[in-house]
Structure 1
Amino acid sequence: MSSTTTTTTISTVGPPSRRNTELALLAFAVIIPVFAYANVGLALSDELPSGLLNYGLGLGFMAAVGHIIVRKFAPYADPLLLPLATLLNGLGLVLIWRLDQSQRLARLAKGEYVASAPKQLMFSAIGIALFVAVLLMLKDHRRLQRYTYISMAGALVLLLLPLVPGLGMNVFGAKIWIRVAGFSIQPGEFAKIVIAIFFAGYLMVKRDALALASRRFMGLYLPRGRDLGPILVVWAMSILILVFETDLGTSLLFFGMFVVMLYVATERTSWIVFGLLMAAGGAAVVGSVEPHVNIRVMAWLHPFAVYDESPPSWATTDQIAQAMMAFGSGGTMGTGLGQGNSDLIGFAANSDFILATVGEELGLGGTMAILLLYALIVERGVRTALAARDPFGKLLAVGMSAAFAIQVFVVAGGVMGLIPLTGMTMPFMANGGSSVIANWALIAVLIRISDTARRPAPAPAPNPDAEMTQVVRP
C-alpha cells in the first residue's frame, strides 16, 4: 500500500485596486487645465502667461497628495472620482483666472477689483486638505450612523446661522452667508453633507414603516397618514428656508435629496409623486408672496424685460439676458478660450454664471463635455451605492450623489433659463470657497464608501480538518 498526502490551499483573490488607472487619469486631469491656461494666455496677450508653471505645479501637487492618500488609505476606492473632481477644479481655476483679466470687470469694481483666482487656488488647497483629513479620520463610513440625530442638530444649526444678527449677511436679497474672521462662508454647502448623514441613518431605521401602504389609488400605493410626518417636516423646513433666507436653491436641494433617498429606501413611487406635488405647491405659494423669490421668477419668465422702453420695476439686472446671449454667441464650437464677452454679465460672471463662459468660449460641445463630467461623478456615486454592502452606505452614497446632481441641475438650469435662478454655485468650477471645500469633503466620503464596498471580503478561517486530505491507494 502507498499513501499520498495532498494539501489544499484556500486563497481569496480580490478585485484590482485600480490605483495605477487613477494615476494615469490624474495626469490627464492636470495636463488638460494646464493647456487650457496656456490657451487663455495666448488668446489674451499672444504669449504664455507668467503663472503657468506655478499653476501647473500647484494643481499637480494637490492631485499627487490626493492620490497618495487614496493609494495608502483607500486602495480599493473608485478610480474615477478623484480625477474627475481634479479636472473640474482645474478648469474652474482657469476660467476664474480668465475672467480676472477682464478690463470690464475691473471698471465695474471702480478700482476695487481683486483677482479671485489666487484665493480660489488657496480654497482648493484647503479642500484637498479636508479631503485628506476625512480619509484619515473616517476609517469606516458606518461610524457616521452613530451620529444620526447629532447630524440633524448640526444641520439645523448650520442652516440657522445666516439668520443670527451680526453673523449672517444679506447678499443681493438672500440670507445664506455668514462672515467669520473676515471670510464669507456659506453654511448650506456643508449642511448638505451633514443632513445626508441624518437622512441615511433615519431612513435605514424607519424604511419598513414608510414602505407600508394603506390603499391603492390610480395605480399608486398611498402611504399611511401617520407615515407622512417625516416628509411633512422636511417639506416645512425647506419652506422655512425659502421664506426666511429667500434661498430657493438650498430649499430645492434638501427637499429633493430627501425625496430621492426616501424613494430608494422604500421603493414606493408614491413618495416621488407626493414630493413633486408638495415642492411645486410650496414654491408656487412662496414665489407669489415673497418679493425676492417673485423677482427671480419674473426675471426667469421675462429675461429681456430690462431692455424694454419702460422696464418694469423688478427688472433691475440684465444678467440672465446676457447669459442667454453668451450661450447663443458660442454656437456649437465656441469662440475660443479667452475670446468671449461673458464678462458683460458682471460681478457674478465667475460664480453663479460661470457656466455661461463655458457656453460662449467652448460652445455647445464644451458645455456638454462639462456636464458629462458632472454626470460621471453622479454615475460613480450611484455605482458606489449599488456596490455598498450595508444599507446605511447605500443610502448615504445615494443621498450625496443626489445632492450633487440636484445642485448641478439647479445651477445649470438657472443659467440656461430652464428654471428661476437660485444663487447656488457650480460645484468645483465656480468662484467660492465654501462650495469647493464642501464638495471635496463630499468626494472623500464617496471614496471611503466605495473603498469599503470594493474591498475583498476576508478569507474564511481555515479548517484544520479540511486542509489535509489523505488519499490511500492500494
Structure 2
Amino acid sequence: MSQKSAPPHSFLGFVHRRRRGAEMFLLVLALVVGIGAYAAVGLGVEGSVPADLVAYGGWLAVLIIACHVVVRWVAPYADPVLLPVVAALNGLGLAVIHRLDLAYEAAGRTQHEFARQQLIWMTLGVLLFIATLVVLRDHRVLQRFTYTTGLAAIALLLLPMLPGIGRTVNGARIWIHLGPFSFQPGEIAKVLLVIAFAGYLVLHRDALALAGRRVLFIDLPRGRDLGPILVMWLISLAILVFQRDLGSSLLFFGIFLTMLYIATERPGWLVVGGGLFFVGAFLGYQFFSHVQSRVNIWLDPMRYYYDSPGSGQIVESMFGMAWGGLLGRGFGNGSPQRIPYAESDFIIGAIGEELGLTAVMAVIVCYGLIVERGLRAALVCRDGFGKLIAAGLAFVLTLQVFVVVGGVTKLIPLTGLTTPFLSYGGSSLVANWVIIALLLRISDQARRPVPDLSGQGELGDDDSEATQVVKL
C-alpha cells in the first residue's frame, strides 16, 4: 500500500481490522458445541433429545448474541477470539453439569438443578459483562480508584469472618449468606486486587525496579522495597490460617508476584517471592492440620480413601479418567456421579471419563487461547496500567486452571479453586465474565487506530517515515 493511498488512521499502511464477522462465525461454532453437547447428554442418558432443547438453546443463543451485539457496538476493535472460546467453555460446562444432575437423580440422591441454577448465574454474568463494556469506555479511568479498589478487596475478603453472614462450607470459611443467597466474595476481590496492584505498580515501578545486592548473577531487590511483597505474603497467610482456603491464598500471592515481576522485569523478585512461598508452605504444613491433610492425600490418596472426602475425589477421578481413556465412554456410559463434588471442583474428571483425554486436552487448549489473547492484549496495549491489568487477569485464569487441573491429575495437592466457566459456582462464573469484559475493553483500546492529530486526511507524498510516526 502506498503512502498516498494509506488510510488516514493507519500506521505506515497498517490498521487493525475489526473482525466482528469472524467473531460471529466462531460464536456460531461455540453455540453448536454448547447446544450439541446438551442434546448429546439427553440422547446418551435418556435415549431422546431433551424436551427443553429449543428453550435452552434459544436462551443460550440470546445471551451469546447479545454479547456479540454489545461488543460490536461499544468495542468494535476488541479481540475476536476471546468471546467465542468463553462461550464454548460455558456451554460445555452447562451440558456436563446437566449430565451430573441426571446421574444424581438416577442414583436416588436429593434432586438437584445445578444446570438450571448455573444458567441463571450465566445470565447474571452476561448482564455484568454487558454493563462493564457499556459503562467502562476507557480502562484507564480505573487507575483513579487504585486504593479504593484495594480497600474494597480487603473488605470483601474479611466479610466471611463476620458473625451472622459468614459461613463455613467444606472446612473453608469463604462464603457469606444473605437470606436465601450465598456468595463467595473472594471471587470479586481477585478482580479488584488486580486493578489495585496495577495502579500501585505503575506509580512505584521505578523504585521497585532498583537493584540491590547481586547474588549468583541475579540482582535482588533492596531491603527497603520488600514491604509490599511482605504485606501480601502476610495477607495470604492470614487467608490460609483464618479462612482455611489454600487456593485463594496461593492465587492472591501468585497474582501480586507475577505482576510485580512484569512491572519491574527483575528476576530477583521471583527469587524472593519463591522463597517466601516455600517458607509459607513449610509453616503451613507444620502448624495447620488442613494443609497436612491436603499434602498427605496428595502423596498417598488410597491410604486415606475411606477417611477423607478429598482422597475420594482424587481416587474416583483418576479411576474415571482411566476408564474414559483417549476418546471417553460417551455421555451416559460412565459414572461421574461417583466423584464427590464432580459438578464443581472435579468437573475435569467428569469430562475425562465420558469425553476422554481428547476432550480434556481440547479444554486446556481453549484456556491456553484465552490466556494467549489476554497476554497479546497486554503486549499491544499503549499504557502501562492497561498492560498490567491485562497480564494480571490473564494470569488469574492461568493459575486457576493450573492448580485445578494439577489437583485433579495429582500433579499438585488439591487447593479448592473452581475451573473457570466450566464448574458449577455462581460467584466464580460472574467474576470470570467480568474479567473477559475487561480484557475485551483493553484489547479494543489497544487495537483501535490512533487518531490522526495532524489535521490532514492523508499523508502527503513528501512525508518521511519518521514524520509519519510523529503524526500517528
Structure 2 counterpart of 1:40, one-letter code: V
- The 3 A distance-change label for structure 1 pair 319 and 209 is same
Secondary structure at the counterpart of residue 417 of structure 2: coil
Query: What does residue 147 of structure 1 align with?
Result: 145
Q: Is the 8 A contact 2:297 2:310 kept in 1?
A: no
Secondary structure at the counterpart of residue 437 of structure 2: helix
Structure 1 counterpart of 2:397, one-letter code: F
Structure 2 counterpart of 1:205, one-letter code: L
Offset, 1:291:
1.7
Query: What does residue 408 of structure 1 align with?
Result: 401
Query: What does residue 40 of structure 2 align with?
Result: 39
Deviates more, 1:90-99 or 1:274-283: 274-283
Query: What does residue 398 of structure 1 align with?
Result: 391
Structure 2: stretches of 5+ with no match in the other structure:
463-472
Structure 2 counterpart of 1:61, one-letter code: V
Alpha-carbon separation, structure 1, partners of 2:385 and 2:213: 29
Alpha-carbon separation, structure 1, partners of 2:235 and 2:144: 23
Q: Is the 8 A contact 1:299 1:315 kept in 2?
A: no
Query: What does residue 451 of structure 2 align with?
Result: 458
Alpha-carbon separation, structure 1, partners of 2:181 and 2:415: 22
Query: What does residue 324 of structure 1 align with?
Result: 318
Residue 332 of structure 2 corresponds to residue 338 of structure 1: yes
Alpha-carbon separation, structure 2, partners of 1:141 and 1:9: 29
Give deviations 1:103-142, integer Å, cap 9, x for gaps. Answer: 467534xxx3321111110100000000000001101000
Query: What does residue 465 of structure 2 align with?
Result: none
Offset, 1:276:
1.6
1:40-439 map, 5 Å: 40-103=41-104, 107-108=108-109, 112-307=110-305, 318-346=312-340, 348-439=341-432
Alpha-carbon separation, structure 2, partners of 1:217 and 1:190: 39
Offset, 1:12:
2.5
TM-score (structure 1 length as normaliser): 0.92
Give deviations 1:317-363, integer Å, cap 9, x for gaps. Answer: 512211111111111111112321111013x1101111101111111
- The 3 A distance-change label for structure 1 pair 86 and 284 is same
Alpha-carbon separation, structure 1, partners of 2:160 and 2:108: 31
Query: What does residue 11 of structure 1 align with?
Result: 8
Q: Is the 8 A contact 1:8 1:467 kept in 2?
A: no
Alpha-carbon separation, structure 1, partners of 2:456 and 2:95: 59
Q: Is the 8 A contact 1:105 1:113 kept in 2?
A: no
Q: Is the 8 A contact 1:196 1:399 kept in 2?
A: yes
Q: Is the 8 A contact 2:105 2:111 kept in 1?
A: no
Alpha-carbon separation, structure 2, partners of 1:137 and 1:96: 32
Q: Is the 8 A contact 1:9 1:467 kept in 2?
A: no
Q: Is the 8 A contact 2:104 2:111 kept in 1?
A: no
Alpha-carbon separation, structure 2, partners of 1:256 and 1:103: 36
Runs (4+) off by over 2 Å: 7-14, 103-108, 313-317, 460-464, 466-469
Work out which of the two has the higher radius of gyration on C-alpha atoms and give 1 or 2: 1
Alpha-carbon separation, structure 2, partners of 1:23 and 1:318: 42
Q: Is the 8 A contact 1:8 1:468 kept in 2?
A: no
RMSD across aligned positions (CA): 2.0
Secondary structure at the counterpart of residue 345 of structure 2: coil
Alpha-carbon separation, structure 2, partners of 1:206 and 1:318: 47
Secondary structure at the counterpart of residue 108 of structure 2: helix
Alpha-carbon separation, structure 1, partners of 2:41 and 2:170: 31
Q: Percent of aligned pairs with the same residue?
A: 48
Alpha-carbon separation, structure 2, partners of 1:10 and 1:368: 42
Q: Is the 8 A contact 1:104 1:344 kept in 2?
A: no
Q: Is the 8 A contact 2:320 2:335 kept in 1?
A: yes
Give deviations 1:86-111, integer Å, cap 9, x for gaps. Answer: 11110000000000001467534xxx
Give deviations 1:127-182, integer Å, cap 9, x for gaps. Answer: 00000000011010000000000011001011111111111110111011111231
Structure 2 counterpart of 1:34, one-letter code: I
Query: What does residue 446 of structure 1 align with?
Result: 439
Give deviations 1:185-236, integer Å, cap 9, x for gaps. Answer: 0111111100000000001111111111122111110110001111111011
Alpha-carbon separation, structure 2, partners of 1:410 and 1:468: 56
Structure 1 counterpart of 2:68, one-letter code: H
Alpha-carbon separation, structure 2, partners of 1:403 and 1:8: 43
Alpha-carbon separation, structure 1, partners of 2:401 and 2:178: 27
Give deviations 1:258-301, integer Å, cap 9, x for gaps. Answer: 11111111111111122122112202211221122222221111
Query: What does residue 470 of structure 2 align with?
Result: none
